[in-house]
Structures are given as C-alpha cells and as structure tokens.
Amino acid sequence: MSNIEDKNINHGEPEIDELTKNRFLGGHEYDGIRELDNKLPGWWVWLFIITIVFSAVYLLGYNVAGWWPSQKQEYKIAMDELNTMKESVKKNTVDIATMMPLTDATSLGAGLDIYKKICTTCHGQNGEGLVGPNMTDEYWIHGDSINNKVTIQDLYKVVITGVLEKGMISYKDQLSPEQIQQVLSYMLSLQGTKPANPKAPQGKKYEKFG
C-alpha cells in the first residue's frame, strides 16, 4: 500500500474538512456533496438558552407558584375594578331635580369637613360671612324669589357655575355631586344660628329654606 492510499484511510477518527476544520457528518452525502457538522453561532446558542430559561420561569410563575396573575385572573381583576368604578359613579350621581338637604349626622359631618376646606375663607368659620355673604341669616343673594324660598337646587347651581364677579369659582370639577349636596346641606343647617360678628345682610329676605 502506498503512502498516498494510507492517508485516505479512516482509522476511526472523525474526518475533518481541511478548509473549514469542521468534521464531516457520517451518512450525509448526496451526489458527492458531503455535509459538515458546522458549529452553531454563539448568539443563536445563547438565544436558545434564554428561551428555555424564560419558558421555565413563565411556567413556574404563572401556572405553578402563582407569582403573577393568569389571563383569567387579570380579566377578573379588571372586571372587579370596572364594577367598583360603576358603583362609585352611581353613588356619586344625584338627581338635582329631587335633591333635598341631607340631615343625617354623617352627611352633615362630611359637609362640615368640606366647608372648612373651601368655604371658610369667604364665609367665615361659622358662616358669619367675610368676603362672601352671611350664611346664617334670612337674607340671600341667590334664591327663588317667586316662591320666597332658598332651595338646595338654587345653591347647587351657584356652586356648579360659580359667581365670578364676586370672586367665587366653579367647584364642578373639584367636588362630586354628592359632596356638593353634603356641603350645601351643612350650610343650610346654619340657618338661624347666631355666630359672633355676623356680616350685614345682603340680598333679599327669604322665609323658607330647604
């Protein structure tokens, strides 16, 4: 046997392509074309590993350990939030046409809190009047002169529109309808009280309130 023939004999070692230095795959030869066992690109290998790790964490977090809510749970959470929002809107919606002054302690207490925050600057701590009119006497600037009555509906319109010429802004975007009803109910409850240092009467004298 010549030396050349001896070089072409495979002695059990993988056959290596001299150009690429990759080994040939056994049994992968068609029409004289042989397939090389090319190495996978590093970026592809790492992407494959990351995909496997991500899948394992996803499976564990969403379906085994419950670290994050499933799609079904997310749907339920969203629907619960929507129902809560609907209840809140329903609760904060009042019928102005049939609105009446609230008389229960809880509502009047809530109205007092609102009054202290936004009304005392103009109407005084006890409704005696400062820049704004006295809220405790029988003289009012805004009322139903035909029926000789100051209603909560009249006052509601004032709060919603404001009285810009007198320096009172609209509280439409600052207070909910329920909060406006509460603070107006408190202000009407001041009628007939006798605070110290009352401001002089302004407007027309009314006989009925509510």
pLDDT at res. 1:
41
More confident residue, 11 or 85: 85
pLDDT at res. 147:
86
> Residue 5 pLDDT > 80, yes or no?
no
H/E run at residue 76: helix 71-91
pTM for the structure as a whole: 0.58
Query: Which residue, among 67, 68, 155, has the nearest Cα to 115 in the 3D structure?
Result: 155
Please give the DSSP secondary-structure letter assigned to residue 200: P
pLDDT in tens, 48-91: 999 999 999 999 999 899 899 988 999 999 999 999 988 877 76
pLDDT in tens, 132-156: 999 999 999 988 888 899 999 999 9
> Residue 103 pLDDT > 90, yes or no?
yes
CA distance 166 to 122: 10
* Most confident by average pLDDT, 19-28, 81-90, 118-127: 118-127
> Residue 12 pLDDT > 70, yes or no?
no
pLDDT at res. 6:
47
> Residue 7 pLDDT > 60, yes or no?
no
Give the burial string for 99-127 (b: 16+ CB within 10 Å, else e).
bebbeeeebbebbbebbeebbeeebbebb
CA distance 151 to 45: 78
Helix (H, G, I), strand (E, B) or coil at 120: helix
Across 22-41, average pLDDT: 87
